[in-house]
Amino acid sequence: MSDEEAIALIQSHVSLPGLGPLNSFGTRAEVWRVTPDTILKALWKPDESYMMELASSKTSIPIPKIRRYITWEGTQYVFMEYVDGSDFYEIWPSLSLWSRFMVAWTLRGYIRQLRAIELPNPDIPGPIQPSGAPLKCQGHYFSERGAGPFHSYSAMTAWYNGRSRLNNILLNPTIQDLSMIPEPTTFFDDSMPLVFTHGDISPNNIRLGKDGTVWLLDWESAGAYPKWFEYANMMAYDVDHPGWRWPRGFRWFIPFIAGWYTTQLSFLLKNKSGIGHYGFEGFD
């Protein structure tokens, strides 16, 4: 495919609705099926493709193969293999109990493989790129603008604990100065090492091939995070939102798949107002 042909495909598809269900903003993912065996995706984080290739080279996880990149009007696009099959949220209700267990067992194995990958910089959290330099963290448990870059694990811990203090201020309007902030009783858990994390295993990012293969899609939120982060991110879809929540009967498999870290999740949920606040730079 020439550059001209690739750009023509981009031009003819970017104005069309993307694949998948509507998100909470009423839009679809910027992913389009451009040929019977190829999809097109807009890359807002170039490190996503590097992390896909890293995971693919170090594990046996089925990940769509990248075919080529091209930049058009300032945005990088990637052409990838199209996985012929069914989206998880569509097929789950029709699976037998044994098939459901086998999907969960397979995902459990994938997460274990990811956690076993040797990180190039074991003390730097966030997305991974070839240079090793830290990048801004984005995902369910960061503000809309993201957080960081963090040059160390302890820096990310300090950010979360600072957000916990901010949460106390936001929820208690009687606090007039920093001396009135109550002493925290819970803290961000950094007792576990950073591990390679997909970061967005969701009903929309699992696809079952026609041969039963379980594929993992959309590595935009991947990176080095605490071991318990995968569980917390999967639980972010335990919500009452049609099309984005886990289908009935699946959430009980999440602790089996990713481990059970309710205390760590509780810290994130308790402090969600502070974590999500994007106009705060930190305490001096």
Predicted pLDDT at 140:
92
Q: What distance in Å separates the CA atoms of residue 42 and residue 23, rounded to the nearest whole number?
A: 16
Give percent above pLDDT 70 in the chain: 90
Verify that 185 and 115 share a domain, yes or no: yes
Predicted pLDDT at 284:
46
Verify that 35 and 112 share a domain, yes or no: no
Domain assignment of residue 215, yes or no: yes
- In the numeric block, the tokens 């308790």 are attached to 270
Verify that 130 and 265 share a domain, yes or no: yes
Using CA atoms, how far residue 106 sits from 52, 201, 217, 228, in Å, is: 18, 13, 15, 18
pLDDT, averaged per 10 consecutive residues of the chain (284 residues), comes to 78 70 61 87 85 96 93 86 92 95 98 97 95 93 92 96 87 70 84 97 94 95 97 87 78 96 96 84 59
Using CA atoms, how far residue 273 sits from 103, 267, 283, in Å, is: 34, 12, 16
Residue 236 structural domain: 85-276
Domain assignment of residue 60, yes or no: yes
Verify that 160 and 55 share a domain, yes or no: no
Bridge partners (DSSP) of residue 179 are none
Bridge partners (DSSP) of residue 194 are 226
